[in-house]
Amino acid sequence: MTSIIQFPVPIPVTNGNLPQFKFAIFGDNLATVTTAGYLNQANIAGGTPLSNADVIMALYSFNQQTQSGTFVILTVAINSATGAITLTEWNSASGGSITLPTIANYISHFTNTAGNMSSAAANIINAGNIQAGLSGTAGTLASFPATAANGSLIVAGVAAGGAFNTTVSNGTMGQSTIYTIPDAGNTAGRFLVGGGATPFVSGNLPAASGTGGVMVDSGKSAASLPTFTSPTIANHLAVFTNTTGNLGEDAATAINGGNLQAGLSGTAGTVASFPATAANGSLVLAATNAGGAFNTIISNGTMAQSTVYTIPDVTAATGQLLAKTAAFVSGNLVQASGTAGVCVDSGVATTNVQLKTQVTAATTANIGGAGAGPITVTVAGVTTASVIVASIATSSNTVAVAKVTPGTGNFDVLFTADPGATCTLSYIAYIAAQ
């Protein structure tokens, strides 16, 4: 429903002249007022005819309480076929107008080819250059994203140290490209730029020239750099997999040209070796407190062959390896020095020790009843070189051993007289003489 407060009425001084000026007041906005047919019903009701020669001065969007509105000059066009009346803003038809209201400090721009201007949001186009600021007066170019309160992209000139212009331009492109500026993670960041017209060799790595962000060719090809084999396993050693510096994880031998250290002073570290069979324990080298800054070194002697030393099972949760403090005498027995596993030379040569297997001590069964002898006593291992010591344990008669003669697997005993019906003999046989 239209809101026509005052139908166009002639202005007396122009009545009867062409063009005929009339004045009207509309409560509707300009878009509604200029809609075709807006005045048709009102024209019939008002009884005042309109013609194509009329010019209407009007207030639109009129507020009757404040008695205020926006002034406009309208021309009249009546369709001869339908009779529809169309009002057109005068300046639009005659070469341009300004769309109100305008916004302070906004850039004005043409909205059509008839010269109409506005400050509303639009794509602004300038056929030449656009300049923000003047020499000595700062000015920036800012672009905002579609989402509110999400910052902006600003191009801002700073003092260049002289009358030097900095120009940013594209190269020859093979496609449309969007370049994204990543977050530098700081309140200040720098673009990396190449120095010179052709600063880089294709395939080479760039290198920083100074600290300002200028990059130059490093002279090093990216193809010559070592790589690593992926995926890697956390905490595993990295080893060179070839002679060109490639890194990876290798289940084979890991070699270090110098020393290897597990742990630090005050931080425990162990070296562990696992067998090929799973869940079968490991051999661990683990340092404990030495009571002072004393290093314990395990090293080999001069070897005549490769040798595998095996640590035997002590059948207990703890055990000790035996160690010596000084050189041993070859052929001597070793003896413990204290209870911690330290051994020293005993001073006793093995040649002075009779083996248990070479000494037999026993008492014979009854050998009486055979007279004074000689009587043969069987002892395994005895030879003619053996040494036999014998004495009478029991006898029916009081006699003594007169002579013992070793044989092969036995010895003969001769008494001083007949021992009687009962006689047992105690003896020690040193099978190997020494």
Q: Average pLDDT for residues 368-395, to the nearest whole number?
A: 87
Residues 335 and 361 in one domain: no
Most confident of 8-17, 29-38, 217-226: 29-38
Kindly tell me if the per-residue pLDDT of 152 is higher than 60: yes
Q: Is the dihedral of CA 337, 341, 344, 348 positive or negative?
A: positive
Spatial distance between the Cα atoms of 330 and 328, rounded to a whole number of angstroms: 6
Kindly tell me if the per-residue pLDDT of 316 is higher than 80: yes
Most confident of 2-11, 263-272, 345-354: 263-272
Q: Average pLDDT for residues 112-129, to the nearest whole number?
A: 79
Residues 335 and 377 in one domain: no
Which residues 6+ apart lie within 8 Å of 188 measured at CB? none
- Asked if residue 201 belongs to a domain, the reply is no
- Asked if residue 210 belongs to a domain, the reply is no
- Asked if residue 73 belongs to a domain, the reply is yes
Between 38-42, 331-335, 361-365, the lowest mean confidence (pLDDT) is in 38-42
Q: Average pLDDT for residues 50-62, to the nearest whole number?
A: 90
> Residues 251, 233: contact at Cβ < 8 Å?
no
Residues 380 and 424 in one domain: yes
Last residue of a domain, one of 62, 94, 126: 94
* Joined tokens for residue 243: 């002679």
Most confident of 203-217, 245-259, 351-365: 203-217
R_g over Cα of the chain: 61
pLDDT bracket for residue 92 (50, 70, 90): very low
| Number of domains observed in the structure of the chain | 3
Q: Average pLDDT for residues 341-349, to the nearest whole number?
A: 81
Residues 373 and 390 in one domain: yes
* Joined tokens for residue 208: 């920083």
- Asked if residue 132 belongs to a domain, the reply is no
Residues 362 and 346 in one domain: no
Residues 11 and 84 in one domain: yes
Question: What values do phi and psi take at 176, rounded to 5?
Answer: -75, 135
Residue-level pLDDT at 95: 53
Q: What percent of the chain has pLDDT over 70?
A: 91
Residues 330 and 376 in one domain: no
Kindly tell me if the per-residue pLDDT of 87 is higher than 90: yes
Residues 369 and 329 in one domain: no
Mean pLDDT of the chain: 84
Residues 16 and 54 in one domain: yes
More confident residue, 308 or 351: 308
- Asked if residue 242 belongs to a domain, the reply is no
- Asked if residue 117 belongs to a domain, the reply is no
* Beta strand residue intervals within 306-422, DSSP E: 323-324, 332-336, 342-349, 359-363, 375-378, 387-395, 401-406, 410-415
Strands 239-240 and 247-248: antiparallel
Q: Which domain holds residue 52?
A: 4-94
Spatial distance between the Cα atoms of 183 and 187, rounded to a whole number of angstroms: 10
- Asked if residue 369 belongs to a domain, the reply is yes
- Asked if residue 63 belongs to a domain, the reply is yes
Residue type, 422: T
Q: Average pLDDT for residues 287-292, to the nearest whole number?
A: 90
> Residues 22, 9: contact at Cβ < 8 Å?
yes
Which residues 6+ apart lie within 8 Å of 255 measured at CB? 239
Residues 343 and 361 in one domain: no
For tokens 């339908």, name the residue: 82
Residues 421 and 366 in one domain: yes
More confident residue, 22 or 341: 22
Residue-level pLDDT at 217: 82
> Residues 61, 70: contact at Cβ < 8 Å?
yes
